[in-house]
Amino acid sequence: MDARRSQRLFDPLFTTETMRGIFSDHGRLQAMLDFEAALARAEARAGLVSTASAVAIGTQCRAELFDVDALAAAAAQAGNSAIPLVRQLTLLVAARDAEAARYVHWGATSQDAMDTGLVLQLCSALTAIDADLTRLSSALAALARVHAQTPLAGRTWLQQGPPVTLGLKAAGFLSAIERHRIRLAEVRGRIATLQFGGAVGTLAALGERGMDVAAALAEELQLALPDLPWHAQRDRVAEVATMLGLLVGTLGKLARDVSLLMQTEVAEAFEPSAPGRGGSSTMPHKRNPVGSAIILAAAVRVPPLVATMLAAMVQEHERGLGGWHAEWDTLPEICALAGGALAHAIAVVEGLQADPAQMAVNLDITHGLILAEAVAMALGEKIGKMKAHELVEEASARAVRERRHLRDVLLADSNVVAHLAPADLERLLDPRRYTGQAERLVARALAARKPEGDGSADA
């Protein structure tokens, strides 16, 4: 292929070799050819085509036998890739068996080949994504387990709040990834469905044997046989796009948090380092969050693509005009970006370098203010919530104004020390003692995690 038309410069950044292979020109052609070969075998089983003809057709259903550039040029004129594919396949079969060539694509329509080919590609793509989701889940579970008690500042509106734990943050992502694993299994069950209806979805060209051929074809491809063809009902493919959009959104959230933790002024956790990773062309000291950047790029690109898939659902009568065509590049791009973002997320989480010492430093930069809630709640038990809140709020403002530690301001307040002893205040202002149910919540997330096998929870 002409290097000027290649995307290899950026492909390694945004997708994986697996996804690139599944949705390559070769992958697309082979998926459609798998449909054509299976159709011939199914029609032989139904008695419409001889076994010899089915074999003759099947032996030519190999993508490497086809001229991709010629197909692409012809598709621009024909309106889709299946029409020139069937023409080339027929010529290849005819060169060896003229009788068999009569039965190439027998009773099918272009969309049958393209949609079922896409389904086969999506099944492969979702299998790969499921394996990577399982790996990411394992990495997050390990991170949550190791850091279940590691305190760091919780942050709301980008401002410090009471402490959480790094394990709890990891557990939050783990819980979301587990939901995506469930969604993926459900979606895969619905998309793994044959598309076969002929011209307008009636299978009229096959007469009384239409449903026999459809059932045999579904069995040959190991796909479900739907109640009826779904040429213009695009909820299945739109659901795949939407599920992947949700996944990329979660990965984007993870990348955002990691990149914020890597900021110079925060420096609490870092992406893994390696020679040539995260450097700058001009600033030798830089350690950029490159994995997070690529994930965030996917999180920007995928939502509009999902919107395209949803908009494309509005199709005309029995065969769509334009909406179907809009899916052809859109859904593969969503899969490619999701697969790439997931691979980067695995690398980030598996190699995440946490700095608990810096987390402890940052917990004290407000001089106790992030634990004002803890003091207010304890004082509220003595004098009532409203009055306690007012006292601690006033003390917090004084601590900021006078650049003093909240502890010292509180100790100087007779209204406070009348109810809370110095030892009480020391305990209340210890970040490690105010992480609430964090450790228990981490344990719940770990217990709910589904293993790779039958989906039952971990013991």
Give catalytic residues, as residue numbers: 280, 319
From the list 237, 197, 212, the residue with the least C-alpha distance to 318 is 197
Return d(Cα 268, Cα 357) in angstroms, integer. 8
Q: Which residue's entry shows tokens 């949803």? A: 310
Q: Which residue's entry shows tokens 């007012």? A: 390
- The DSSP code sequence of 120-168 is HHHHHHHHHHHHHHHHHHHHHHHHHHHTTT-EEEEEETTEEEEEEEHHH
Q: Which residues contact 7 (CB under 8 A, 6 or more apart)?
A: none
* Residues 60, 96 contacting (CB under 8 angstroms): yes
Return d(Cα 184, Cα 125) in angstroms, integer. 11
* Residues 132, 342 contacting (CB under 8 angstroms): yes
Q: Return the DSSP state at 260.
A: H
Q: What angle do CA 253, 254, 257 make, to 5 degrees?
A: 85
Would you state the structure tokens that stand for residue 152, as one six-digit string?
């760091």
Return d(Cα 85, Cα 90) in angstroms, integer. 8
Burial zone of 257 (CB within 10 Å; 0-12 exposed, 13-18 middle, 19+ buried): middle
Would you state the structure tokens that stand for residue 5, as one six-digit string?
């038309």
* Residues 330, 309 contacting (CB under 8 angstroms): yes
CA-to-CA separations, 428 to 166, 372, 424, 440, in angstroms, rounded: 20, 9, 6, 20
Buried b (16+ CB within 10 A) or exposed e, 260-278: ebbeeebebbbbeeeeeeb
Would you state the structure tokens that stand for residue 323, as one six-digit string?
């909406």
Return d(Cα 330, Cα 317) in angstroms, integer. 22
Q: Which residues contact 225 (CB under 8 A, 6 or more apart)?
A: 193, 194, 214, 215, 218
Return d(Cα 235, Cα 312) in angstroms, integer. 10
